[in-house]
A and B are shown apart, each in its own frame.
Chain A
Amino acid sequence: MRHTAAKLFATLAIATSLATVAAGSALADPSVTPNAADVVGVGSDTTQAVLGQLSTDYNAFLTGKGDTTSPRLYSWDATGSSPITTKTGATSITRPNGSGAGISALNANTSATVNFARSSRAPQTGDLTTDDFVAFAKDGVSWAANSAGNAPANLTTADLAAIYTCSKTNWNQITDISGYTGPNATIKAYLPQINSGTRSFFLKAVGGGTAITPGACVQSYTPEENEGTDSVFTDSNALVPYSAAHYIGQVYGGHTTSTDAPGPLTVRNTDGVAPVTGTHTLNSSYTATAYGRVVYNVVRDGEWTGTGANPALKAIFGTTGWICTNATAKADIQSYGFQTLAVGACGSVTHL
Protein backbone atom coordinates (compact mmCIF):
# COMPACT_ATOMS: atom_id res chain seq x y z
CA MET A 1 0.00 0.00 0.00
CA ARG A 2 2.74 2.37 1.00
CA HIS A 3 4.69 1.51 -2.12
CA THR A 4 1.64 2.05 -4.26
CA ALA A 5 0.93 5.37 -2.60
CA ALA A 6 4.55 6.39 -2.93
CA LYS A 7 4.52 5.51 -6.61
CA LEU A 8 1.32 7.46 -7.05
CA PHE A 9 2.75 10.51 -5.35
CA ALA A 10 5.97 10.16 -7.34
CA THR A 11 3.97 10.01 -10.56
CA LEU A 12 1.96 13.03 -9.54
CA ALA A 13 5.13 14.88 -8.63
CA ILE A 14 6.64 14.18 -12.03
CA ALA A 15 3.47 15.25 -13.77
CA THR A 16 3.37 18.41 -11.71
CA SER A 17 6.98 19.24 -12.44
CA LEU A 18 6.42 18.75 -16.15
CA ALA A 19 3.42 21.02 -16.07
CA THR A 20 5.25 23.72 -14.19
CA VAL A 21 7.57 26.21 -15.78
CA ALA A 22 11.11 25.30 -14.90
CA ALA A 23 12.47 27.37 -12.05
CA GLY A 24 16.03 28.57 -12.00
CA SER A 25 18.00 31.22 -13.79
CA ALA A 26 15.97 33.85 -15.55
CA LEU A 27 16.56 33.66 -19.29
CA ALA A 28 18.97 36.09 -20.87
CA ASP A 29 19.81 37.40 -24.33
CA PRO A 30 19.17 35.27 -27.43
CA SER A 31 21.64 32.40 -27.60
CA VAL A 32 21.82 32.71 -31.38
CA THR A 33 21.82 35.67 -33.71
CA PRO A 34 18.19 36.03 -34.81
CA ASN A 35 17.44 36.03 -38.53
CA ALA A 36 16.43 39.23 -40.25
CA ALA A 37 12.77 38.16 -40.40
CA ASP A 38 12.59 37.14 -36.75
CA VAL A 39 10.57 39.19 -34.26
CA VAL A 40 12.99 40.90 -31.90
CA GLY A 41 12.29 43.03 -28.84
CA VAL A 42 14.11 45.26 -26.35
CA GLY A 43 13.16 47.46 -23.41
CA SER A 44 11.55 46.86 -20.02
CA ASP A 45 13.50 45.25 -17.22
CA THR A 46 10.29 44.18 -15.46
CA THR A 47 9.12 41.97 -18.32
CA GLN A 48 12.46 40.86 -19.72
CA ALA A 49 12.49 37.54 -17.87
CA VAL A 50 8.96 36.52 -18.84
CA LEU A 51 9.54 37.55 -22.46
CA GLY A 52 12.73 35.51 -22.47
CA GLN A 53 10.75 32.48 -21.32
CA LEU A 54 7.95 33.15 -23.77
CA SER A 55 10.49 33.41 -26.59
CA THR A 56 12.02 30.08 -25.74
CA ASP A 57 8.66 28.37 -25.47
CA TYR A 58 7.20 29.97 -28.59
CA ASN A 59 10.16 28.91 -30.69
CA ALA A 60 9.92 25.40 -29.26
CA PHE A 61 6.21 25.40 -30.10
CA LEU A 62 6.94 26.21 -33.73
CA THR A 63 9.69 23.65 -33.94
CA GLY A 64 7.52 21.07 -32.22
CA LYS A 65 4.90 21.29 -34.90
CA GLY A 66 7.46 21.09 -37.67
CA ASP A 67 7.30 24.75 -38.59
CA THR A 68 10.77 25.73 -39.76
CA THR A 69 9.86 28.88 -41.64
CA SER A 70 7.77 31.14 -39.38
CA PRO A 71 9.67 33.99 -37.75
CA ARG A 72 10.99 33.17 -34.31
CA LEU A 73 10.63 35.37 -31.22
CA TYR A 74 13.64 36.84 -29.42
CA SER A 75 14.01 39.29 -26.56
CA TRP A 76 17.11 41.20 -25.49
CA ASP A 77 17.61 41.94 -21.81
CA ALA A 78 17.59 45.50 -20.49
CA THR A 79 21.11 45.20 -19.15
CA GLY A 80 24.32 43.59 -20.34
CA SER A 81 27.02 44.40 -22.83
CA SER A 82 26.36 47.30 -25.16
CA PRO A 83 26.02 48.10 -28.03
CA ILE A 84 24.03 45.18 -29.39
CA THR A 85 23.27 43.94 -32.89
CA THR A 86 19.80 42.56 -32.38
CA LYS A 87 19.59 40.39 -35.52
CA THR A 88 21.18 39.69 -38.85
CA GLY A 89 21.53 42.90 -40.83
CA ALA A 90 20.48 45.12 -37.91
CA THR A 91 21.97 48.46 -37.04
CA SER A 92 24.14 48.27 -33.94
CA ILE A 93 22.36 50.14 -31.14
CA THR A 94 22.98 51.08 -27.55
CA ARG A 95 21.24 48.43 -25.48
CA PRO A 96 17.87 49.93 -24.45
CA ASN A 97 17.46 49.77 -20.69
CA GLY A 98 13.85 50.18 -19.66
CA SER A 99 10.46 50.76 -21.23
CA GLY A 100 11.17 54.32 -22.31
CA ALA A 101 14.48 53.41 -23.90
CA GLY A 102 12.89 50.43 -25.63
CA ILE A 103 10.10 52.56 -27.08
CA SER A 104 12.66 55.14 -28.19
CA ALA A 105 14.63 52.40 -29.93
CA LEU A 106 11.47 51.16 -31.61
CA ASN A 107 10.77 54.66 -32.88
CA ALA A 108 14.33 55.40 -33.93
CA ASN A 109 14.85 52.21 -35.91
CA THR A 110 13.03 50.03 -38.40
CA SER A 111 11.90 46.44 -38.21
CA ALA A 112 15.33 45.53 -39.53
CA THR A 113 16.57 46.22 -35.99
CA VAL A 114 13.64 46.25 -33.53
CA ASN A 115 10.15 44.78 -33.98
CA PHE A 116 8.73 45.49 -30.56
CA ALA A 117 9.47 47.20 -27.27
CA ARG A 118 8.69 45.65 -23.93
CA SER A 119 6.84 48.21 -21.80
CA SER A 120 5.74 48.18 -18.19
CA ARG A 121 3.96 51.48 -18.57
CA ALA A 122 0.97 52.65 -20.59
CA PRO A 123 1.19 55.21 -23.39
CA GLN A 124 2.12 58.66 -22.17
CA THR A 125 2.67 62.13 -23.55
CA GLY A 126 5.65 62.08 -25.84
CA ASP A 127 4.96 58.65 -27.30
CA LEU A 128 4.05 58.45 -30.96
CA THR A 129 0.38 58.02 -31.82
CA THR A 130 1.55 55.24 -34.11
CA ASP A 131 2.95 53.23 -31.20
CA ASP A 132 0.47 50.44 -30.48
CA PHE A 133 0.68 49.11 -26.93
CA VAL A 134 -0.44 45.47 -27.05
CA ALA A 135 -1.53 44.24 -23.61
CA PHE A 136 -0.46 40.82 -22.38
CA ALA A 137 -0.57 40.69 -18.56
CA LYS A 138 -1.21 42.53 -15.31
CA ASP A 139 1.28 43.60 -12.67
CA GLY A 140 1.15 45.58 -9.46
CA VAL A 141 3.78 48.08 -8.42
CA SER A 142 4.55 48.22 -4.74
CA TRP A 143 7.56 49.29 -2.75
CA ALA A 144 10.24 47.24 -1.08
CA ALA A 145 12.56 47.67 1.86
CA ASN A 146 15.19 45.73 3.77
CA SER A 147 13.57 42.90 5.70
CA ALA A 148 15.58 43.84 8.79
CA GLY A 149 15.21 47.57 8.26
CA ASN A 150 13.24 50.43 9.76
CA ALA A 151 10.40 50.67 7.25
CA PRO A 152 6.89 49.64 8.31
CA ALA A 153 4.97 46.81 6.72
CA ASN A 154 2.60 49.30 5.13
CA LEU A 155 2.71 52.85 3.82
CA THR A 156 -0.13 54.99 2.58
CA THR A 157 -0.11 56.80 -0.74
CA ALA A 158 0.16 60.03 1.25
CA ASP A 159 3.24 58.67 3.02
CA LEU A 160 4.88 57.63 -0.23
CA ALA A 161 4.14 60.98 -1.83
CA ALA A 162 5.55 62.77 1.21
CA ILE A 163 8.67 60.61 1.20
CA TYR A 164 9.39 61.10 -2.49
CA THR A 165 8.67 64.84 -2.36
CA CYS A 166 10.73 65.13 0.83
CA SER A 167 8.10 66.49 3.21
CA LYS A 168 8.80 63.40 5.29
CA THR A 169 12.44 62.46 5.52
CA ASN A 170 12.59 60.57 8.81
CA TRP A 171 10.87 57.36 9.79
CA ASN A 172 9.59 59.01 12.96
CA GLN A 173 7.44 61.28 10.78
CA ILE A 174 5.42 58.26 9.63
CA THR A 175 2.60 58.49 12.15
CA ASP A 176 -0.42 57.15 10.29
CA ILE A 177 0.43 53.45 10.34
CA SER A 178 -1.28 51.59 13.14
CA GLY A 179 1.16 49.85 15.47
CA TYR A 180 4.23 51.45 13.94
CA THR A 181 6.52 53.85 15.72
CA GLY A 182 9.25 54.93 13.41
CA PRO A 183 12.76 55.32 14.75
CA ASN A 184 14.70 58.54 14.44
CA ALA A 185 16.47 57.59 11.24
CA THR A 186 16.73 59.28 7.86
CA ILE A 187 14.77 57.65 5.09
CA LYS A 188 16.76 56.79 1.97
CA ALA A 189 14.33 56.77 -0.95
CA TYR A 190 15.56 55.32 -4.23
CA LEU A 191 14.05 55.32 -7.69
CA PRO A 192 14.93 53.15 -10.66
CA GLN A 193 16.78 54.71 -13.56
CA ILE A 194 15.10 57.43 -15.61
CA ASN A 195 13.93 55.21 -18.50
CA SER A 196 12.23 52.74 -16.19
CA GLY A 197 8.54 52.15 -16.78
CA THR A 198 8.21 51.17 -13.15
CA ARG A 199 9.64 54.52 -12.11
CA SER A 200 7.25 56.56 -14.25
CA PHE A 201 4.26 54.43 -13.26
CA PHE A 202 5.09 54.66 -9.55
CA LEU A 203 5.51 58.44 -9.58
CA LYS A 204 2.16 58.81 -11.31
CA ALA A 205 0.36 56.39 -9.00
CA VAL A 206 1.75 58.06 -5.89
CA GLY A 207 0.65 61.41 -7.29
CA GLY A 208 -2.93 60.24 -7.69
CA GLY A 209 -2.76 60.20 -11.48
CA THR A 210 -0.37 63.08 -11.98
CA ALA A 211 3.30 62.27 -11.67
CA ILE A 212 5.05 63.83 -8.71
CA THR A 213 8.47 65.39 -9.13
CA PRO A 214 10.98 63.66 -6.88
CA GLY A 215 12.47 65.96 -4.27
CA ALA A 216 16.12 66.66 -3.60
CA CYS A 217 16.20 64.18 -0.74
CA VAL A 218 15.64 61.27 -3.12
CA GLN A 219 18.90 59.45 -3.69
CA SER A 220 20.65 60.51 -6.88
CA TYR A 221 21.94 57.00 -7.46
CA THR A 222 19.40 55.04 -9.50
CA PRO A 223 19.66 51.28 -9.09
CA GLU A 224 18.45 48.85 -11.72
CA GLU A 225 14.81 48.11 -11.00
CA ASN A 226 13.74 44.92 -9.28
CA GLU A 227 17.29 44.10 -8.25
CA GLY A 228 17.55 43.96 -4.49
CA THR A 229 21.07 42.64 -4.86
CA ASP A 230 22.38 46.18 -5.24
CA SER A 231 24.55 46.94 -2.21
CA VAL A 232 22.58 50.10 -1.40
CA PHE A 233 19.75 47.93 -0.19
CA THR A 234 21.72 46.57 2.71
CA ASP A 235 20.91 49.93 4.25
CA SER A 236 18.15 49.55 6.82
CA ASN A 237 16.59 52.86 5.78
CA ALA A 238 16.34 52.24 2.04
CA LEU A 239 13.10 51.82 0.10
CA VAL A 240 12.43 51.56 -3.62
CA PRO A 241 9.48 50.89 -5.98
CA TYR A 242 9.29 47.24 -6.98
CA SER A 243 7.25 45.16 -9.41
CA ALA A 244 5.21 42.75 -7.31
CA ALA A 245 4.98 40.30 -10.23
CA HIS A 246 8.72 40.34 -10.73
CA TYR A 247 9.15 39.78 -7.00
CA ILE A 248 6.83 36.77 -7.08
CA GLY A 249 8.75 35.39 -10.05
CA GLN A 250 12.00 35.81 -8.20
CA VAL A 251 10.98 34.54 -4.78
CA TYR A 252 8.35 31.93 -5.56
CA GLY A 253 8.98 31.14 -9.22
CA GLY A 254 12.70 30.78 -8.63
CA HIS A 255 13.49 32.97 -11.62
CA THR A 256 16.63 34.71 -10.50
CA THR A 257 20.15 35.46 -11.63
CA SER A 258 23.11 36.67 -9.59
CA THR A 259 21.80 40.22 -9.91
CA ASP A 260 18.12 39.77 -10.78
CA ALA A 261 17.03 38.76 -7.29
CA PRO A 262 15.36 40.44 -4.33
CA GLY A 263 18.40 40.26 -2.05
CA PRO A 264 17.41 41.54 1.40
CA LEU A 265 14.32 43.33 0.09
CA THR A 266 10.72 42.32 0.71
CA VAL A 267 7.72 43.96 -0.93
CA ARG A 268 5.37 45.81 1.38
CA ASN A 269 1.74 46.85 1.48
CA THR A 270 0.33 50.06 0.11
CA ASP A 271 -2.75 51.68 1.63
CA GLY A 272 -3.21 48.53 3.67
CA VAL A 273 -3.48 46.23 0.67
CA ALA A 274 -0.95 43.44 0.21
CA PRO A 275 0.39 43.05 -3.33
CA VAL A 276 1.04 39.33 -2.86
CA THR A 277 -1.52 36.79 -1.63
CA GLY A 278 -0.90 34.09 0.91
CA THR A 279 -0.67 31.62 -1.95
CA HIS A 280 2.11 33.63 -3.57
CA THR A 281 0.16 35.13 -6.43
CA LEU A 282 -0.51 38.70 -7.40
CA ASN A 283 -3.40 40.04 -5.33
CA SER A 284 -6.38 40.99 -7.52
CA SER A 285 -7.48 43.47 -4.88
CA TYR A 286 -4.11 45.18 -5.29
CA THR A 287 -4.12 45.23 -9.08
CA ALA A 288 -7.59 46.79 -8.99
CA THR A 289 -6.11 49.86 -7.28
CA ALA A 290 -4.10 52.70 -8.77
CA TYR A 291 -1.05 50.50 -8.23
CA GLY A 292 -2.23 47.87 -10.70
CA ARG A 293 -0.87 48.18 -14.18
CA VAL A 294 -0.93 46.41 -17.50
CA VAL A 295 2.28 45.38 -19.19
CA TYR A 296 2.62 45.58 -22.94
CA ASN A 297 4.61 44.85 -26.01
CA VAL A 298 4.72 47.94 -28.20
CA VAL A 299 4.66 47.64 -31.99
CA ARG A 300 4.48 50.07 -34.88
CA ASP A 301 0.88 50.56 -36.00
CA GLY A 302 1.89 50.22 -39.64
CA GLU A 303 3.21 46.75 -38.91
CA TRP A 304 0.21 45.76 -36.77
CA THR A 305 -2.63 46.77 -39.10
CA GLY A 306 -3.17 47.55 -42.74
CA THR A 307 -1.41 46.51 -45.87
CA GLY A 308 2.04 46.77 -44.35
CA ALA A 309 1.22 44.49 -41.43
CA ASN A 310 3.61 41.78 -40.36
CA PRO A 311 1.38 38.75 -39.66
CA ALA A 312 3.98 37.32 -37.31
CA LEU A 313 3.25 40.08 -34.78
CA LYS A 314 -0.41 39.14 -34.38
CA ALA A 315 0.45 35.45 -34.50
CA ILE A 316 2.51 36.06 -31.37
CA PHE A 317 0.90 39.01 -29.55
CA GLY A 318 -2.67 39.31 -30.96
CA THR A 319 -5.94 38.39 -29.27
CA THR A 320 -5.83 35.00 -30.96
CA GLY A 321 -2.04 34.82 -30.95
CA TRP A 322 0.17 32.37 -29.13
CA ILE A 323 0.81 34.42 -25.98
CA CYS A 324 -2.90 35.03 -25.39
CA THR A 325 -4.18 31.55 -26.15
CA ASN A 326 -1.50 28.94 -25.57
CA ALA A 327 -1.55 27.06 -22.25
CA THR A 328 2.23 27.08 -21.97
CA ALA A 329 2.31 30.83 -22.50
CA LYS A 330 -0.28 31.36 -19.79
CA ALA A 331 1.72 29.15 -17.43
CA ASP A 332 4.81 31.20 -18.21
CA ILE A 333 3.04 34.46 -17.42
CA GLN A 334 1.80 33.11 -14.10
CA SER A 335 5.10 31.52 -13.18
CA TYR A 336 6.78 34.88 -13.56
CA GLY A 337 4.25 36.38 -11.17
CA PHE A 338 1.93 38.20 -13.55
CA GLN A 339 -1.83 37.84 -13.93
CA THR A 340 -3.14 36.71 -17.27
CA LEU A 341 -5.70 38.87 -19.03
CA ALA A 342 -9.10 37.65 -20.19
CA VAL A 343 -9.63 36.49 -23.75
CA GLY A 344 -9.97 39.58 -25.91
CA ALA A 345 -8.27 41.81 -23.34
CA CYS A 346 -4.98 40.06 -23.91
CA GLY A 347 -3.82 41.22 -27.30
CA SER A 348 -5.95 44.36 -27.30
CA VAL A 349 -4.28 47.61 -28.26
CA THR A 350 -4.11 50.98 -26.59
CA HIS A 351 -2.35 54.10 -27.84
CA LEU A 352 -2.35 57.86 -27.56
Chain B
Amino acid sequence: MSRTSVRLTVAAVAVAALSATAMSDSALAATTTTAPTGSLVIQEDSTFLKQAAANGIIAVALPNATAGYDAATGLSASFPVTGGSANLSGYYGNIQLGGGLLLVNLHTGKAAVFNNLAFSADNWAVTGVPLGESAPVSLLDPVGNTTVTKNAGVQLLTADDLEIDAAGAQYADTKLGTAFFTAGQHTGTATLTFTAGS
Protein backbone atom coordinates (compact mmCIF):
# COMPACT_ATOMS: atom_id res chain seq x y z
CA MET B 1 0.00 0.00 0.00
CA SER B 2 1.28 3.46 -0.91
CA ARG B 3 1.74 6.28 1.58
CA THR B 4 -1.24 8.06 -0.01
CA SER B 5 -3.54 5.14 0.45
CA VAL B 6 -2.38 4.80 4.02
CA ARG B 7 -3.29 8.41 4.65
CA LEU B 8 -6.70 7.88 3.08
CA THR B 9 -7.33 4.81 5.16
CA VAL B 10 -6.30 6.61 8.31
CA ALA B 11 -8.51 9.57 7.48
CA ALA B 12 -11.46 7.33 6.78
CA VAL B 13 -11.22 5.42 9.99
CA ALA B 14 -10.62 8.60 11.95
CA VAL B 15 -13.80 10.16 10.58
CA ALA B 16 -15.72 7.01 11.26
CA ALA B 17 -14.33 6.95 14.77
CA LEU B 18 -15.38 10.53 15.34
CA SER B 19 -18.88 9.81 14.11
CA ALA B 20 -19.24 6.80 16.35
CA THR B 21 -17.94 8.73 19.31
CA ALA B 22 -20.28 11.64 18.71
CA MET B 23 -23.28 9.32 18.60
CA SER B 24 -22.19 7.62 21.74
CA ASP B 25 -21.70 10.88 23.62
CA SER B 26 -25.03 12.39 22.63
CA ALA B 27 -26.88 9.24 23.57
CA LEU B 28 -25.31 9.30 27.01
CA ALA B 29 -26.00 12.97 27.56
CA ALA B 30 -29.68 12.34 27.04
CA THR B 31 -29.87 9.82 29.84
CA THR B 32 -28.14 11.72 32.63
CA THR B 33 -29.17 14.78 34.59
CA THR B 34 -25.74 15.83 35.73
CA ALA B 35 -23.10 14.15 33.65
CA PRO B 36 -20.15 12.55 35.36
CA THR B 37 -16.88 14.36 34.91
CA GLY B 38 -13.21 13.56 34.91
CA SER B 39 -10.61 12.20 32.59
CA LEU B 40 -8.16 9.43 31.91
CA VAL B 41 -4.70 10.81 31.28
CA ILE B 42 -2.12 8.49 29.82
CA GLN B 43 1.45 9.66 30.07
CA GLU B 44 3.25 7.78 27.37
CA ASP B 45 6.58 6.15 28.07
CA SER B 46 9.33 7.50 25.80
CA THR B 47 11.03 4.13 25.46
CA PHE B 48 7.77 2.54 24.36
CA LEU B 49 7.20 5.33 21.85
CA LYS B 50 10.70 4.93 20.40
CA GLN B 51 10.30 1.18 20.10
CA ALA B 52 6.89 1.60 18.51
CA ALA B 53 8.21 4.13 16.01
CA ALA B 54 11.15 1.88 15.17
CA ASN B 55 8.62 -0.81 14.30
CA GLY B 56 6.53 1.57 12.21
CA ILE B 57 3.76 1.75 14.78
CA ILE B 58 2.12 5.02 15.68
CA ALA B 59 -0.69 5.56 18.15
CA VAL B 60 -2.99 8.56 17.83
CA ALA B 61 -5.59 9.77 20.30
CA LEU B 62 -8.68 10.73 18.32
CA PRO B 63 -10.99 13.64 19.16
CA ASN B 64 -12.47 14.45 21.52
CA ALA B 65 -9.41 13.16 23.29
CA THR B 66 -6.59 15.64 23.42
CA ALA B 67 -2.89 15.11 23.05
CA GLY B 68 -0.28 17.04 24.96
CA TYR B 69 3.45 17.43 25.17
CA ASP B 70 5.69 18.47 27.99
CA ALA B 71 9.44 18.78 27.61
CA ALA B 72 9.99 17.07 30.91
CA THR B 73 7.44 14.29 30.74
CA GLY B 74 6.89 13.83 27.01
CA LEU B 75 3.68 12.94 25.20
CA SER B 76 0.35 12.44 26.88
CA ALA B 77 -3.24 11.84 25.90
CA SER B 78 -6.33 12.86 27.83
CA PHE B 79 -9.66 11.11 27.37
CA PRO B 80 -12.66 12.90 28.92
CA VAL B 81 -15.17 11.05 31.04
CA THR B 82 -18.51 11.02 29.24
CA GLY B 83 -20.68 8.69 31.29
CA GLY B 84 -21.02 5.62 33.41
CA SER B 85 -20.87 4.94 37.10
CA ALA B 86 -18.24 3.21 39.14
CA ASN B 87 -16.94 2.70 42.61
CA LEU B 88 -13.22 2.49 42.00
CA SER B 89 -12.31 1.56 45.55
CA GLY B 90 -15.05 -1.07 45.45
CA TYR B 91 -13.70 -2.37 42.13
CA TYR B 92 -16.97 -2.36 40.26
CA GLY B 93 -18.66 -0.28 37.59
CA ASN B 94 -17.82 1.15 34.20
CA ILE B 95 -16.62 4.62 33.22
CA GLN B 96 -17.20 5.73 29.63
CA LEU B 97 -14.57 7.84 27.95
CA GLY B 98 -14.70 10.16 24.95
CA GLY B 99 -12.38 10.04 22.01
CA GLY B 100 -10.86 7.05 20.35
CA LEU B 101 -7.56 5.39 19.70
CA LEU B 102 -5.99 4.88 16.31
CA LEU B 103 -3.10 2.52 15.72
CA VAL B 104 -1.30 2.48 12.39
CA ASN B 105 1.42 0.21 11.08
CA LEU B 106 3.33 2.34 8.59
CA HIS B 107 5.14 -0.72 7.25
CA THR B 108 1.99 -2.59 6.29
CA GLY B 109 -0.46 0.28 5.92
CA LYS B 110 -2.87 -1.46 8.24
CA ALA B 111 -4.77 0.38 10.96
CA ALA B 112 -6.96 -0.33 13.96
CA VAL B 113 -9.45 2.03 15.54
CA PHE B 114 -10.98 1.65 18.96
CA ASN B 115 -14.08 3.61 19.93
CA ASN B 116 -16.34 3.60 22.98
CA LEU B 117 -13.35 3.65 25.23
CA ALA B 118 -14.09 2.88 28.85
CA PHE B 119 -12.50 1.93 32.10
CA SER B 120 -13.95 -1.26 33.53
CA ALA B 121 -13.45 -1.30 37.28
CA ASP B 122 -14.62 -4.91 37.37
CA ASN B 123 -11.92 -6.02 34.96
CA TRP B 124 -9.50 -3.23 35.91
CA ALA B 125 -8.74 -2.43 32.32
CA VAL B 126 -9.15 0.28 29.71
CA THR B 127 -11.35 -1.20 27.04
CA GLY B 128 -12.25 -0.18 23.52
CA VAL B 129 -14.61 -1.42 20.83
CA PRO B 130 -12.90 -2.04 17.49
CA LEU B 131 -14.42 -0.16 14.60
CA GLY B 132 -17.13 -2.26 12.99
CA GLU B 133 -17.39 -4.61 15.92
CA SER B 134 -19.55 -4.62 19.03
CA ALA B 135 -17.62 -6.37 21.77
CA PRO B 136 -15.07 -4.41 23.79
CA VAL B 137 -11.47 -5.54 23.94
CA SER B 138 -9.32 -5.03 27.02
CA LEU B 139 -6.49 -2.79 25.86
CA LEU B 140 -4.52 -1.48 28.81
CA ASP B 141 -4.19 -2.57 32.44
CA PRO B 142 -3.18 -0.21 35.24
CA VAL B 143 -0.79 -2.21 37.40
CA GLY B 144 2.44 -1.58 39.31
CA ASN B 145 2.14 0.87 42.17
CA THR B 146 -1.57 1.54 41.95
CA THR B 147 -3.44 3.85 44.28
CA VAL B 148 -7.17 4.46 44.58
CA THR B 149 -8.55 7.29 46.68
CA LYS B 150 -11.76 9.26 47.05
CA ASN B 151 -11.96 12.79 48.34
CA ALA B 152 -15.02 15.04 48.28
CA GLY B 153 -16.70 12.82 45.72
CA VAL B 154 -13.73 12.74 43.36
CA GLN B 155 -12.36 9.28 42.77
CA LEU B 156 -8.75 9.05 41.72
CA LEU B 157 -6.81 6.13 40.33
CA THR B 158 -3.10 6.40 39.64
CA ALA B 159 -0.88 3.68 38.28
CA ASP B 160 2.82 3.95 37.53
CA ASP B 161 2.66 1.09 35.07
CA LEU B 162 0.06 0.98 32.31
CA GLU B 163 0.54 -2.32 30.54
CA ILE B 164 -0.87 -3.74 27.35
CA ASP B 165 -3.50 -6.36 28.02
CA ALA B 166 -3.05 -9.79 26.49
CA ALA B 167 -6.31 -9.46 24.54
CA GLY B 168 -5.37 -6.01 23.28
CA ALA B 169 -1.93 -7.17 22.20
CA GLN B 170 -3.33 -10.10 20.30
CA TYR B 171 -5.98 -7.98 18.59
CA ALA B 172 -3.57 -5.19 17.63
CA ASP B 173 -0.91 -7.55 16.35
CA THR B 174 -3.42 -9.38 14.20
CA LYS B 175 -5.07 -6.23 12.91
CA LEU B 176 -1.81 -4.44 12.15
CA GLY B 177 0.07 -7.45 10.86
CA THR B 178 2.86 -7.11 13.37
CA ALA B 179 4.33 -8.92 16.35
CA PHE B 180 5.25 -5.74 18.16
CA PHE B 181 2.63 -5.79 20.87
CA THR B 182 2.99 -8.19 23.78
CA ALA B 183 1.02 -8.74 26.95
CA GLY B 184 2.48 -6.84 29.87
CA GLN B 185 4.30 -4.31 27.70
CA HIS B 186 4.86 -1.07 29.61
CA THR B 187 3.31 1.88 27.77
CA GLY B 188 3.38 4.58 30.40
CA THR B 189 1.41 5.69 33.43
CA ALA B 190 -2.27 6.39 33.99
CA THR B 191 -4.28 8.85 36.05
CA LEU B 192 -8.04 8.49 36.11
CA THR B 193 -10.26 11.02 37.86
CA PHE B 194 -13.98 10.43 38.12
CA THR B 195 -16.81 12.32 39.72
CA ALA B 196 -20.13 10.53 39.49
CA GLY B 197 -23.13 12.15 37.87
CA SER B 198 -26.42 12.65 39.60
Contact = CB atoms under 8 A, between A and B. Distances in A.
B149 interface: yes
Nearest to B92: A288
A268 interface: no
A206 B49 CA distance: 49
Tell me if A's interface is mostly helix, strand, loop or mixed.
loop
| Interface range on chain A (Cβ under 8 Å from partner) | 20 to 34
Given A319-B146, A350-B147, A343 B124 contact: yes
Interface string B125-162: 10000000000000001111111110000000001000
Contacts of A341: 91, 124
A82 B75 CA distance: 57
A344 B159 contact: yes
Contacts of A319: 143-146
A305 B92 contact: no
Contacts of A348: 146-148, 159
B89 interface: yes
Nearest to B149: A350
B51 interface: no
A320 interface: yes
A342 B89 contact: no
B149 to A, nearest CB: 6
Candidate in B92, B125, B149, B159 with the most chain A CB atoms within 10 angstroms: B92
Given A342-B124, A344-B124, A294 B91 contact: yes
A345 B90 contact: no
Interface in A325-352: 341-345, 347-352
| Interface range on chain B (Cβ under 8 Å from partner) | 20 to 34
A72 interface: no
B143 A320 contact: yes
A319 B121 CA distance: 15
Contacts of B125: 342, 344
A139 to B, nearest CB: 11
A351 B147 CA distance: 8
Given A342-B123, A343-B124, A287 B92 contact: yes
A292 interface: yes
A21 to B, nearest CB: 23
A255 interface: no
Contact of B149 (A287, A342, A345, A351): A351
Contacts of B121: 345
30 contacts: A122-B89, A138-B91, A287-B92, A288-B92, A288-B93, A293-B90, A294-B89, A294-B91, A305-B145, A319-B143, A319-B144, A320-B143, A320-B144, A341-B124, A342-B91, A342-B123, A342-B124, A343-B141, A343-B143, A345-B91, A347-B146, A348-B147, A348-B159, A349-B146, A349-B147, A350-B89, A350-B147, A350-B148, A351-B147, A352-B149
- A-B pairs, top 5 by smallest CB distance, nearest first, are A348-B146, A342-B124, A345-B124, A344-B143, A344-B124
